[in-house]
Chains A and B, each alone.
Chain A
Amino acid sequence: MNKIIAKEYLSDKVVRFEVEAPLIAKSRRAGHFVMVRVGKKGERVPYTIAAADTTKGTITLVVQRVGKSSEKLCRLEAGDFITDLVGPLGKATHVDLLGTVVCAGGGVGVAPMLPIIEAMKKAGNRVVSVIAARSKELLLLEEQVREHSDEVVIMTDDGSYGKKGLITDGVERVIQREKVDLCVTIGPAIMMKFVAELTRNYNVPTVASLNTIMVDGTGMCGACRVTVGGQTRFVCIDGPEFDAHQVDFDEMLMRLRAYS
């Protein structure tokens, strides 16, 4: 049982939780996730650790309400307990001094991107963050992204804020303008697929953080498997980050629809 210390709405459908989890706060690194279960009949669902505070012993989760399980979680209030929470899981982001890193986060993907932006900056990289949403109200965490980025490009589908266009337009502009050494992308699978296609054309190494269906999150079930470079890999233990140019996104999109 982990206590929720604070809850805040980042948008209509996105909630930020600060949850007591001292051991996880201490051992987690950028890129790690946790499995969460709400209620005795709840399912185990993965969420990225968006931030951690080791002195308070808390971790931050940013949750988008999309279906049954995220809805159940979003209904909890500060003071309530999460039935089960386990982590940190997955491999941490490989952080290195590379030069210029473009961090392309779409929708709720900006939240899991935040610790990566922070870590990349800390390692001495020039960080250009391209964050995107359908419209202004849905844009998340702009302040926090600015704090750790050298430059921020904002894209909205409807042009209600930043520049009008898709995230790929924003990324392409940066690539055309300067040498980019690495692109990291997190967001809906379809978005990551198009970012990967774009950066492949420009030979920019790209890492995507995959959000497949999971059950245990510890390598036991294989529900999370994806094909990367022709080989089957498990997102929960081999990932969640993979070379985006090697990922079979079409297969992943198909598998994401397994239960819908």
Chain B
Amino acid sequence: MSDYLKAERAEEWREALRKSIKNRERTAISRVRMPEIDPMVRRHNYNEVNLGLTAALATKEASRCLDCVDPTCITGCPVEINIPKFIKNIERGEFLKAAKTIKNTNALPAVCGRVCPQERQCESQCFYTLKLKKEPVAIGHLERFAADYERESGTISIPETAPANLIKVAVVGSGPAGLAFAGDMVKLGYDVTVFEALHELGGVLRYGIPEFRLPSEIVDIEIDGLREMGVKFITNCIVGKTLSREDLIEDGFQGIFVGSGAGLPNFMNIPGENLVGVLSCNEYLTRVNLMQAADPDSDTPLYKGKKVAVIGGGNTAMDAVRTAKRLGAEQAAIIYRRTEDEMPARVEEIKHAKEEGIEFYTLHNPLRYEGDGQGRVQRMELQRMCLGEADQTGRRRPVPIKGETVWMEADEVIVSVGVSPNPLIPQAFTDLEVTSWGTIVVNSETMQTADDRVFAGGDIVRGGATVILAMGDGRKAAKSMHQQLQCTNRSN
């Protein structure tokens, strides 16, 4: 553990708090349950499912945390939030201080508390998980509590910014990677402009993740905070199309951060995939979230299937299938070629989906779709699968069971089998090095690309990851671009 963390842990109030309750008592408390809307109610509306912890629940959960000598939980968090410090602040009732602690390293705590796959990140490394074989401290729920408390208190702390240094930097894309980068750079005194291709800000946080999981108001408030700190946002501007790299340099931007995401939906290239009613998860969620197509006043049309099948097992698939249910599907099913254990979605989403009446067809994979006379999808043939040998990643490979196929009716099929990097920037910025997958190659320490003015991070580099990893990249890039620009501007 770093000396800094040690010193903080040794502070008087932390010592006192540790002594106030015996560890045996702390570990005897059972993990808090997040209050949520009843499944029968929520499957008909778009309100957020998780209601958030009350102060009493949060304080109790915080008292489970042992304030470990070696807080392994921190190593599980990609942005290394000082987890025990913020949790102990909650325990002693200093909720605003808890929020401030989180914000030191994480610009979007209200978002991460809601969407991080905690069971794979911080909570997987908690002492409870590793050593006690008990349910971990609910770090994510507590993070969300602190952030929500701060927001609702009306006393959001706007981080201090260094005096303006008049150095202009550009950000391509307003997803979590771009926002995290912008936040750090504006704090350092830079003149930051974020360019966004769409008409709304937030990237996947806006067009992908639905209201019932992440209300857009939360994203708006985070973005407003950045705006107040001085970040400029320009929507409807596609870097590489509306403005070229050279235009940006000519306009005086000394550094460019690319956080353009993995926007390109994959299809399976099987017969019937272009039938009407077969669509990508991105199309479906964009229509519903970005274009608000479910609103009768919206001009964007939406097909509302009665029997909806969603192909895939990730967060995107869960979001789509739960959306379909809310839009009135009588039957909404997940079709996934492996088993539930291999599903990449957050555990909580799978649980919520099941409670809402989503059907799960695991070990099934579509072979073909068939349409009616109008070219609209009607049914699909599914291949039964079993799990074979583990592949290089350690996941057991799905293998077709010869001759075992079934037909299933579906009047809407949502294909959610992954995304590829958005090709716009790799095509337009000719000096970049790009992998055969289409991701941009960066120095993993500095996030700098082969073009030394350009840094990149998030899904365009990782090819599809998580909100917090994208933000971590943005912060890393900010740090190293700052170092580079300080050198060049001093020597000028």
Residue pair A68, B241 in contact (C-beta under 8 Å): no
Residue pair A220, B282 in contact (C-beta under 8 Å): yes
Which B-chain residue is minimally distant from A222 (CB atoms)? B280
Chain B nearest CB, measured from A28 CB (Å): 9
Residue pair A86, B299 in contact (C-beta under 8 Å): no
| B283 interface hit (Cβ, 8 Å) | yes
User: What mask results when residues 31 to 48 of chain A are scored 1 for a CB within 8 Å of chain B, else 0?
Assistant: 000000101011110000
Residue pair B241, A215 in contact (C-beta under 8 Å): no
Residue pair A221, B424 in contact (C-beta under 8 Å): no
- Checking B199, B236, B265, B269 against A221 with a beta-carbon cut-off of 8 angstroms, the contacting residue is B265
Chain A nearest CB, measured from B467 CB (Å): 18
Residues of B within 8 A of A68 (CB): 299
Which of B43-51, B59-67, B289-297 contacts its partner?
Answer: B289-297
Residue pair B299, A221 in contact (C-beta under 8 Å): no
Residue pair A41, B297 in contact (C-beta under 8 Å): yes
Which of B271-279, B449-457, B468-476 contacts its partner?
Answer: B271-279
> Which of A88, A225, A257: most chain B Cβ within 10 A?
A225
Residues of B within 8 A of A160 (CB): none
**Interface size counted on chain A using CB atoms at 8 A:** 38
| A54 interface hit (Cβ, 8 Å) | no
| B287 interface hit (Cβ, 8 Å) | yes
Residue pair B244, A220 in contact (C-beta under 8 Å): no
Interface residues on B, range: 35 or more
Bound-complex Cα distance A232 to B235 (A): 30
Residue pair B235, A220 in contact (C-beta under 8 Å): no
Residues of A within 8 A of B274 (CB): 225-227, 232, 251, 255
Residue pair B238, A86 in contact (C-beta under 8 Å): yes
- Checking B241, B277, B286 against A216 with a beta-carbon cut-off of 8 angstroms, the contacting residue is B286
Residue pair A222, B283 in contact (C-beta under 8 Å): yes
Chain B nearest CB, measured from A12 CB (Å): 23
> Which of A44, A88, A227, A251: most chain B Cβ within 10 A?
A44
Residues of A within 8 A of B275 (CB): 254
* 20 additional contacts (CB under 8 A) given A215-B291, A218-B424, A259-B301: A23-B242, A41-B295, A44-B300, A69-B299, A85-B236, A88-B241, A215-B287, A218-B263, A218-B422, A219-B264, A220-B265, A221-B282, A221-B283, A222-B265, A222-B280, A222-B282, A223-B279, A251-B274, A255-B274, A258-B277
Chain A residues within CB distance 8 Å of chain B: 23-24, 27, 37, 39, 41-44, 68-69, 72, 83-89, 215-216, 218-223, 225-227, 232, 237, 251, 254-255, 257-259
Q: Can you show 17 pairs from A to B with CB atoms below 8 A apart?
A: A27-B244, A39-B299, A41-B292, A68-B299, A84-B199, A84-B236, A216-B286, A220-B264, A221-B265, A221-B283, A223-B279, A223-B280, A232-B274, A254-B276, A254-B375, A257-B374, A258-B276
